[in-house]
Amino acid sequence: MSEVTPEVVQAHQLTPDEYERIVGILGREPNLTELGIFSVMWSEHCSYKSSRLHLKKLPTKGPRVVCGPGENAGILDIGDDWCIAFKIESHNHPSFIEPFQGAATGVGGILRDIFTMGARPIAVMDALRFGPLDDPQNGARNQRIVSGVVEGIAHYGNCFGVPTVGGECVFEPSYNGNPLVNVFALGIFKRDQIFYGQATGTGNPVIYVGAKTGRDGIHGASMASAEFTEESKQKRPNVQVGDPFMEKLLMEACIEAMATGAVSGIQDMGAAGLTCSTCEMGSRGGTGIEIDLALVPQRETGMTPYEIMLSESQERMLLVAHAGREKEVLDVFSKWGLDAVIVGRVNDDGKMRVRNHGVIVAEIPSRELADEAPLYNRPYTTPLRTVPMEAPAFQSKGLRDDLLTLAASGDLCDKSWIWQQYDYTVRTNTIAGPGLDAAIVRIKETGTSIAMSLDGNGRQCYLDPRLGAKLLVAECCRNLACVGATPIGTTNNLNFGNPERPEIMAQLVEAIEGIAEACEFFDAPITGGNVSLYNETLGDPIFPSPVLGVVGTVATGLPPGIAYRAAGRDLVLIGGVGTADEVRMGGTQYAKQVLHQMWGLPPQIDLAFEKRVQDAVRQIVNAGLAETAHDVSQGGLAWALAEGTFQNGIGAAIELDSDLPPELLLFHEGPSRVVVSTVNLPHVTAICAAAGVPAPVIGQTGSARLTIANRGETLIQVSVSEVRQIWSTALESALHTETHA
- Positions annotated as catalytic residues are 45, 91
Q: Whats the size of the chain, residue-wise?
A: 741
Query: Which contiguous run of DSSP H or E holds residue 504?
Result: helix 502-521
Q: Give the whole-angstrom CA distance, residue 720 versus residue 582.
A: 29
Query: How big is the site for another protein, counted in residues (CB under 8 A)?
Result: 34
Q: To the nearest whole angstrom, how small is the minimum distance from the Cβ of residue 331 to another protein?
A: 14
Q: To the nearest whole angstrom, how small is the minimum distance from the Cβ of residue 732 to another protein?
A: 10
| Span near another protein by CB under 8 A; candidates 150-158, 271-279, 536-544, 695-703 | 150-158
Nearer of residues 381 and 725 to another protein, judged by Cβ? 725
Pick one of 442, 470, 611, 630: the residue that binds another protein (CB under 8 A).
442
| Span near another protein by CB under 8 A; candidates 68-76, 380-388, 469-477, 552-560 | 552-560
Is residue 414 involved in binding another protein (CB under 8 A)?
no
**Residue 393 Cα to chain centre, angstroms:** 37
Is residue 144 involved in binding another protein (CB under 8 A)?
no
Nearer of residues 397 and 736 to another protein, judged by Cβ? 736
Residues 217-276 within binding reach of another protein (CB under 8 A): 243-246, 248-249
Centre a 10 Å sphere on the Cβ of residue 341 and count the other Cβ atoms it contains. Answer: 14
Q: To the nearest whole angstrom, how small is the minimum distance from the Cβ of residue 448 to another protein?
A: 13
Is residue 208 involved in binding another protein (CB under 8 A)?
no
HEC-encoded secondary structure of 93-129 = HHHHHCHHHHHHHHHHHHHHHHHCCCCEEEEEEEEEE
Nearer of residues 405 and 556 to another protein, judged by Cβ? 556
Nearer of residues 681 and 735 to another protein, judged by Cβ? 735
DSSP code at position 216: T
For residue 717, give the amino acid letter: Q
Pick one of 431, 563, 629, 632: the residue that binds another protein (CB under 8 A).
431
Is residue 337 involved in binding another protein (CB under 8 A)?
yes
Pick one of 168, 172, 216, 423: the residue that binds another protein (CB under 8 A).
423
The per-residue DSSP string of 148-172 comes to: HHHHHHHHHHHHHT--EEEEEEEE-
Is residue 427 involved in binding another protein (CB under 8 A)?
yes
Q: Give the whole-angstrom CA distance, residue 153 versus residue 423.
A: 10
Is residue 448 involved in binding another protein (CB under 8 A)?
no
Is residue 420 involved in binding another protein (CB under 8 A)?
yes
317 close to 246: Cβ distance less than 8 angstroms: no
Q: To the nearest whole angstrom, how small is the minimum distance from the Cβ of residue 556 to another protein?
A: 7
| Span near another protein by CB under 8 A; candidates 147-155, 309-317, 350-358, 669-677 | 147-155
Is residue 154 involved in binding another protein (CB under 8 A)?
yes
Pick one of 556, 597, 604, 729: the residue that binds another protein (CB under 8 A).
556
Q: What is the per-residue binding string for another protein in 361-400, x denoting contact by CB under 8 A?
A: ----------------------------------------
| Span near another protein by CB under 8 A; candidates 301-309, 415-423, 674-682, 691-699 | 415-423
Is residue 424 involved in binding another protein (CB under 8 A)?
yes
**Strand boundaries in 204-262, DSSP class E:** 205-210
Is residue 104 involved in binding another protein (CB under 8 A)?
no
614 close to 478: Cβ distance less than 8 angstroms: yes
Nearer of residues 418 and 706 to another protein, judged by Cβ? 418
180 close to 142: Cβ distance less than 8 angstroms: no
**Residue 596 class from Cβ within 10 Å (0-12 exposed, 13-18 middle, 19+ buried)?**
exposed
Pairing of strands 439-442, 448-456: antiparallel
Strand, helix or coil for residue 203? coil
**Residue 452 Cα to chain centre, angstroms:** 11
Cα(first)–Cα(last) distance of the chain, in Å?
Answer: 38
Q: Give the whole-angstrom CA distance, residue 459 versus residue 465.
A: 9
Q: To the nearest whole angstrom, how small is the minimum distance from the Cβ of residue 242 to another protein?
A: 12
Strand, helix or coil for residue 18? helix
Pick one of 138, 143, 158, 490: the residue that binds another protein (CB under 8 A).
158
Nearer of residues 382 and 420 to another protein, judged by Cβ? 420
Cα dist. 458→89, 173, 180, 587 in Å?
17, 11, 11, 9
HEC-encoded secondary structure of 360-383 = EEEEEEHHHHHHCCCCCCCCCCCC
Please give the residue ranges that form the binding site for another protein (CB under 8 A).
Answer: 151, 154-155, 158-161, 243-246, 248-249, 336-337, 416, 419-431, 442, 444, 556-558
